[in-house]
Structure 1
Amino acid sequence: MARWSSDEPDDPPLPAVLASLDDDNCRAILALLDSPKSASELHEECGLSSSTVYRKLELLRESRLVREYTEVRRDGPNVTLYERDFSEIAIGIDDTGEFTMRVTRPETDAEDRLATFWSAMREES
């Protein structure tokens, strides 16, 4: 049985990351997320059905490769946006045969952290 470890406690499980990266539709969505986008924008840009986009976004969220947050708009309804939440993934194997993974994440500013906080609060309520 393969073992794996991670340098960071917040890193996603290796099997979830590999499953996401092995999926053509997940990779297409990740490629489109060069800037924050809504699920409907992703649906239009990648030509997948809405239900497929939402399923793939959920898989990417569970593997912590995509970050979801709510953008509050004064002039209309709020919108949920998704953005890629990594800049690099490195997978290796050490001398003991244990798989290792390192996920490099982009720097976040206070506004990003606040948006993430409010999105998490919304999910829990």
Structure 2
Amino acid sequence: MCEDCRPRELLALLGDEHVQTVLSATSNGPLSANELSDICGTSLPTVYRRIEEMVACHLLAERNEIDANGNHYKTYEALLEKATVQLDDGEFVVDLDTVEQEDAPDRFMRMWNEIREDES
């Protein structure tokens, strides 16, 4: 678990309806904030607040994407695979199983390959 996210805060975050919807939607693949706003049926500022909290707690990965016109935008993808909650000596303990994030060289190679495929 991220040191910045205390167990009670993490539990409150995971209990939020919008967070659950974002995690569920992004578990199928990366989505933009605009797409998540439509899926959640809520305002873009609300989605961005939840995204910021989820990224800080390592529940969501943030990626920079480039569209065919060269415009940059961010997409988000769920990292959470499993959350385990335990009560240990009166204290909550939350363990998160997350997928490994792509490192910079891997991300560069993926983006380079996508550009090359688009040119073909």
Give me the TM-score of the superposition, normalised by structure 1: 0.70
Aligned equivalents of 2:72, 2:95: Cα separation in 1: 34
Q: CA deviation at 1:49?
A: 1.2
Q: State the match for 1:43 in structure 2.
A: 37
Aligned equivalents of 2:104, 2:22: Cα separation in 1: 25
User: Greater CA deviation, 60-69 or 11-20?
Assistant: 11-20
Aligned equivalents of 2:83, 2:5: Cα separation in 1: 11
After TM superposition, where is structure 1 displaced by more than 3 Å over at least 4 residues in a row? 8-12, 72-75, 115-118
> How many percent identity over aligned positions?
28
Query: Conserved in 1, the CA contact under 8 Å of 2:2 and 2:58?
Result: no
Q: CA deviation at 1:67?
A: 1.5
3-state SS, counterpart of residue 87 of structure 1 = strand
Identify which of structures 1 and 2 has the higher relative contact order when contacts are C-alpha pairs closer than 8 Å and 6+ apart.
Answer: 1
User: Greater CA deviation, 44-53 or 70-79?
Assistant: 70-79
Query: Greater strand percent: which structure?
Result: 2
Q: CA deviation at 1:54?
A: 0.9
Q: State the match for 1:25 in structure 2.
A: 18
Aligned equivalents of 2:58, 2:2: Cα separation in 1: 12
Shift in CA distance, 9/32, structure 1 to aligned 2, threshold 3 Å: closer
Q: State the match for 2:92 in structure 1.
A: 99
Task: Note the residue ranges of structure 1 that are not aligned, 5 or more in a row.
Answer: 1-7, 119-125
Task: Note the residue ranges of structure 2 that are not aligned, 5 or more in a row.
Answer: 109-120
**Paired positions, count:** 107
Q: State the match for 2:46 in structure 1.
A: 52
Q: State the match for 1:89 in structure 2.
A: 83
Q: State the match for 2:57 in structure 1.
A: 63
